[in-house]
């Protein structure tokens, strides 16, 4: 793995850990504008879809109904190519 990618992974992990333990948002968009970004709630929505809870996923982030199928399709394509 090239060092710039490794540096980015470590920086993101540290930012997420700080946000988790200090109970603050790590979203740069929200920090600058005060508004939720299009990705806010996406992780919760994806986990809700994985559990089969469509209503909760819709409430967390409606974009998950577009993103999750794309991620699944991409993952399957990567596995086929491997």
Summarize pLDDT for 48-61 with one digit per residue, the tens: 888 899 999 999 89
What pLDDT score was predicted for residue 25? 66
Three-class secondary structure assignment of 41-78: CHHHHHHHHHHCCHHHHHHHCCCHHHHHHHHHHHHHHH
- Is residue 75 scored above 70 in pLDDT? yes
Same domain, 25 and 42: no
What pLDDT score was predicted for residue 63? 92
Same domain, 60 and 81: yes
Per-residue pLDDT reduced to its tens digit, 20-46: 677 666 677 887 888 888 888 887 888
What pLDDT score was predicted for residue 59? 92
Same domain, 4 and 31: yes
Enclosing domain of residue 31: 1-35
Same domain, 30 and 45: no
Nearest partner of 48 among 67, 36, 71, 64, judged by Cα: 64
Same domain, 57 and 28: no
């Amino acid at each position: 793995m090239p060092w710039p990618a490794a540096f980015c992974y470590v920086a993101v992990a540290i930012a997420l850990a700080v946000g988790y333990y200090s109970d603050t948002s790590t979203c740069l968009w929200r920090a600058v504008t005060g508004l939720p970004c299009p990705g806010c709630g996406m992780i919760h929505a994806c986990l809700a879809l994985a559990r089969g809870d469509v209503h909760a996923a819709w409430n967390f982030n409606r974009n998950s109904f577009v993103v999750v199928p794309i991620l699944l399709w991409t993952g399957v394509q990567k596995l086929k190519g491997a």
